[in-house]
Amino acid sequence: MNIFRLAGDLSHLLAIILLLIKIWKTRSCAGISGKSQILFAVVYVSRYLDLVTTFISLYNTLMKLVFITSSFATLYLMYVKFKATYDHNHDSFRIEFLLLPCFVLALLINASFTPLEVLWTFSIYLEAVAILPQLFLVSKTGEAESITSHYLFALGSYRALYLLNWIYRYYAEGHYDLIAIFAGAIQTILYCDFFYLYITKVLKGKKLQLPA
């Protein structure tokens, strides 16, 4: 464990908590993409199957359980409890166009052709693009509530911090995983446009408005 990975995990946890607070406090999931939340749930389930086979540390097990339960709690809030506030019209990204290619790519490019490894690789590729429906929704509505933009900033920062973690681990431990690094780089790049808007607007107290 290193400071970059810890900061990344905490940023990830913060993002998940911010999202739950936003939905619970405003009793609405307006501006949030349910499609992205479905993809995140698929990412966690397909990545954390080793919960039952490998014990790495209490921290590792605990965080995995928190991520899985919170993602299903978010789905419940969005598709059941506050279903009436879900923005069906704008949340129209076809996630099958993400799920299928990621799965095919995981079958073709992976570290070893075993079910666990292929599913882990699938979750890595899927996580890289899982935010697209959310960014698509923000671009369609043209704006985002400030807490939603804080959620996105924390979520985008987590994988950016992981990139620093991978640089650190390469030099400190000689450990690296090209699949995770490439996917993590793409995932972070997808946020760049949002990061720019967040830093130039939201941090100045303005609302996140996308140029129409």
Partner 1 sequence: QEKLSGKDEL
Which residues are near partner 1 by CB under 8 A? 5, 9, 12, 50, 54, 56-57, 60, 63-64, 67, 111-112, 117, 120, 162, 165, 175, 177, 179-180
Residue 37 is encoded by which pair of tokens?
A: 């939340």
Nearer to partner 1, 48 or 191 (CB): 48
Does residue 91 come out as left (phi exceeding 0), alpha (psi in the -120 to 50 range) or beta? beta
Nearer to partner 1, 136 or 182 (CB): 182
> How near is the Cβ of 60 to partner 1 at its closest, in Å?
7
Q: What sign results for the dihedral spanned by CA atoms 112, 114, 120, 122?
A: positive
Nearer to partner 1, 67 or 198 (CB): 67
Cβ-based neighbours of 38, under 8 Å, separated by 6 or more: 75, 95
Nearer to partner 1, 97 or 113 (CB): 113
> How near is the Cβ of 73 to partner 1 at its closest, in Å?
18
Q: Tabulate helix, strand, coil % of the chain (nearest 5).
A: 75, 0, 20
> How near is the Cβ of 177 to partner 1 at its closest, in Å?
4
> How near is the Cβ of 180 to partner 1 at its closest, in Å?
5
> What b/e readout covers 108-125, taking b as 16+ CB neighbours within 10 angstroms?
eebeeeeeeebbbbbbbb
